[in-house]
Each structure stands twice: as C-alpha cells, then as structure tokens.
C-alpha cells in the first residue's frame, strides 16, 4: 500500500483525506516513479479545498508536480534508477498526481532532472519556478534585456513571483516587486528586488495609459492588476502573463498595444511542449542562485498538506511549499 492524499466526491460533497491506496489503483502509464518530493501549489490547494472545480474526475490524487526515481519503465526514454521531474500535463486534475509515494504516468510527460539539481531543489523550483523560467525566456525572446529597463513582477512573494525575482536579479535585471504584504519587503529585497510596490497601487481601475515605467513584466495576477501593468509599460515593452490570482477578466483597452507597441505574451506551463520544458530546466540549473532557495521554502509533511491548503489560498504562505515524501531517495 502507498500513502496518498485522496480527493473523493459523494452526495454530501467533496472531501480530501490522507489514506493508504493499493498501487493497483494507480492509473495507466508506461513509467512508475517512486516519488521523493512533491509540492503544494495554488492549483493543488484549490483542488484539495474544493474552492474551484479543478478536479476533473474522482477519486483524484492531487499534486501537479513531483520529483523522484523511476522504479519501472516501458518507455524507451527512461530506465529504472533515472531521476525525473514532472510538471503539469493535467496531473492532479485529470490524472493522479504527486502527493503520493508512487505515481504512474506517461513517460512523455517526464523530464530528466538536470545534473546539479537535487530532487528537493527541483520541488523548491517546482511548477511555479519552471513557469517563472518560461516567463523569463519569453521576455528574452521578445528582446527585453537588462539594459532595456526595469522589469516588474506581480505577486512577487508567491511561488512564481519569488523564483522570477531571483532569476531576473541573477541575470542582471533591475527588478520591481509588487506585493500586497508589506511585511515581505525584506524577503523580496533579499531575493533581489530593488523596488517594492504595494499591490494597492495597481488594484483599482486606472487610465488606459499611465506613465511609462517598466520595460518588462511577469504577471501572475490578471484582472485589474494586469490592466494597470499594461498601461504603465514602456514603448515596446513585453508582459509575460501566467496567472489569474487577481481575476480572470482583463479590463483594459487596445491603447498599450497600438500606441506603445506593447506585447502581451501568454505563458502556459501545463501543456508546454517538451523542447521548451527541457530548455527551461536546463536554464534553471544554470541561472538560478540556489543559495536563495531556502529563503523561499516551507517544508510540510504529507500529513499536514490538507491543513495548509486553505492558508495558501488566503495568501498567508510565502514562496514555495515542499512536501518530502521519501527524501531518502536523494
């Protein structure tokens, strides 16, 4: 039997429990992985609490990412003993995920873990950090360099934002961090932010165009915050949008696009093609200052994940939540 968080649905509603599961219940897949570390992400918290209809079928093991060791493989790309990481692909939503001691998945979803990254570090990075790297790459591909001007990161104290700030600073960018938690200013400065902006400045409807401030942006908020970020971009600026923590709507105008030639680049981490995933993980191994990871890490036992989920949704958790499941695996 394996340990797992299992989300079930009945006539009385949805519930999540830590339980024992027969490995025979694991869904179809050509690679069986012993999970060393997983994480608790915003989407996992939505699934566990039932706050949003994230889960597509029941019962479901949440956990949109994991790192571990291949136990058995029928996929020619992997063999027993390989270190692997998984992000997205509907795992934890449509296919049982990483908040369990084993996972059976398609080998096409797995990425070999680059040398120099431990499995714990891989989950400190997790889907949030991998998404942050995709955003940074998008800014680079659209011509935003450290000489272009400041780059703003919204939701900077969260998982994506924390890694984005650390990555950008390490690459030489001047970073402005937006947060709704004034108490996190010291934390964000330690990660590399030069300027801290109170989220309240961007949380109310603004003008179609504001004073030009930023050359690039990584936005996890959406909604009014994203609209205000767009309005304040410099001519030719680029915004990489990857989240909707502040709302799914976008109450903006075409003004930033047709008068300042602003680019809005959408970033999807779930179904991102494998070549882009491999590049992101290679870049993370090279460009992330791992000495900063401990400052953004909360470690929570599998037994405590369900209780942590509501706090994450309430914005009371800084950085990343790592869940050691079999840390002895390495």
**302 closest CA partner among 130, 123, 125:** 123
Sequence-ordered list of residues with C-beta below 8 angstroms from that of 153, at least 6 positions apart, any chain: 161, 164, 165, 168, 175, 176, 177, 178, 193, 217, 218
pLDDT at res. 246 = 87
DSSP annotation string for 82-113: -EEEEE-TTBTTTB--SSBSEEEE-GGGEEEP
Q: How confident is the model at residue 12 (pLDDT cuts 50, 70, 90)?
A: confident
In this predicted model, what pLDDT tens digit does every residue of 226-272 receive, in sequence order?
999 999 999 999 999 999 988 899 999 999 999 999 999 999 999 99
> Are 107 and 75 a contacting pair, CB within 8 Å?
yes
Distance CA 42, CA 159 (A): 9
Q: Which residues pair with 73 in a beta bridge?
A: 31
pLDDT at res. 294 = 81
Q: How confident is the model at residue 220 (pLDDT cuts 50, 70, 90)?
A: very high
Distance CA 32, CA 66 (A): 12
Q: Which fold has domain 2-113+300-329?
A: Quinone Oxidoreductase; Chain A, domain 1 (3.90.180)
Helix (H) or strand (E) holding 33: strand 31-40
Q: What is the CATH number of domain 126-266?
A: 3.40.50.720
52 or 262: which carries more pLDDT confidence?
262
Does the pLDDT at position 52 exceed 90?
A: no
Q: Provide mean pLDDT across the span 183-197.
A: 95
Q: Where are the alpha helices (DSSP H) in the chain?
A: 42-49, 119-141, 159-170, 185-191, 223-231, 255-259, 274-287, 305-313
pLDDT at res. 27 = 96
The CA-based angle 325-40-285, given to 5 degrees, is 80
Angle, nearest 10°, between helix axes 274-287 and 159-170? 60
Beta-sheet pairing, 320-324 with 297-299: parallel
In this predicted model, what pLDDT tens digit does every residue of 127-163 receive, in sequence order?
989 999 999 999 999 999 999 999 999 999 988 999 9
pLDDT at res. 318 = 81
3-state secondary structure of 115: coil
Helix (H) or strand (E) holding 176: strand 175-179
In this predicted model, what pLDDT tens digit does every residue of 284-319 receive, in sequence order?
999 999 888 887 888 999 999 999 999 998 888 888
pLDDT at res. 191 = 94
Tokens of 176: 């402005």
> Are 34 and 102 a contacting pair, CB within 8 Å?
yes
Q: How confident is the model at residue 67 (pLDDT cuts 50, 70, 90)?
A: very high
pLDDT at res. 112 = 96
Does the pLDDT at position 53 exceed 90?
A: no
Give pTM, 2 decimals: 0.89
In this predicted model, what pLDDT tens digit does every residue of 28-50 receive, in sequence order?
999 999 999 999 998 999 999 99
Beta-sheet pairing, 233-241 with 214-219: parallel
| Residue ranges per structural domain of the chain | 2-113+300-329, 126-266
% of the chain with per-residue pLDDT over 70: 100
């Amino acid at each position: 039997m394996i340990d797992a968080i299992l989300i079930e649905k009945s006539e009385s509603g949805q519930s999540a429990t830590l339980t024992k599961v027969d490995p025979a219940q694991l869904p179809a897949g050509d690679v069986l992985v012993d999970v060393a570390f997983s994480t608790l992400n915003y989407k996992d918290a939505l699934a566990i609490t039932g706050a949003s209809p994230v889960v597509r079928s029941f019962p479901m093991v949440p956990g949109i990412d994991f790192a571990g060791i291949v136990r058995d493989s029928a996929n020619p790309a992997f063999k027993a003993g390989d270190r692997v990481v998984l992000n997205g692909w509907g795992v934890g939503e449509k296919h049982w995920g990483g908040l369990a001691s084993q996972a059976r998945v398609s080998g096409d979803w797995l990425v070999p873990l680059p040398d120099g990254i431990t499995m714990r570090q891989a989950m400190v990075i997790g889907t949030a950090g991998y998404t942050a790297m995709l955003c940074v790459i998008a800014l680079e591909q659209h011509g935003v360099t450290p000489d272009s001007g400041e780059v703003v990161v919204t939701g900077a104290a969260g998982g994506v934002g924390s890694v984005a700030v650390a990555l950008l600073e390490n690459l030489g960018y001047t970073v402005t961090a937006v947060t709704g938690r004034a108490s996190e200013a010291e934390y964000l400065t330690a990660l590399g932010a030069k300027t801290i902006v109170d989220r309240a400045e961007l949380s109310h409807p603004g003008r179609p165009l504001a004073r030009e401030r930023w050359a690039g942006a990584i936005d996890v908020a959406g909604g009014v915050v994203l609209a205000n970020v767009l309005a304040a971009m410099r001519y030719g600026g680029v915004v990489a949008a990857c989240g909707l923590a502040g709302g799914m709507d976008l109450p903006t105008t075409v003004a930033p696009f047709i008068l300042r030639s602003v680019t809005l680049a959408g970033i999807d981490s779930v179904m991102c093609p494998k070549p882009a995933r491999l590049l992101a993980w290679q870049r993370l191994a090279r460009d992330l200052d791992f000495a900063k990871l401990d400052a953004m890490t909360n470690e929570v036992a599998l037994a405590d994940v369900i209780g942590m989920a509501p706090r994450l949704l309430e914005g009371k958790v800084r950085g990343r939540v790592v869940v050691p499941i079999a840390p002895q695996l390495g």
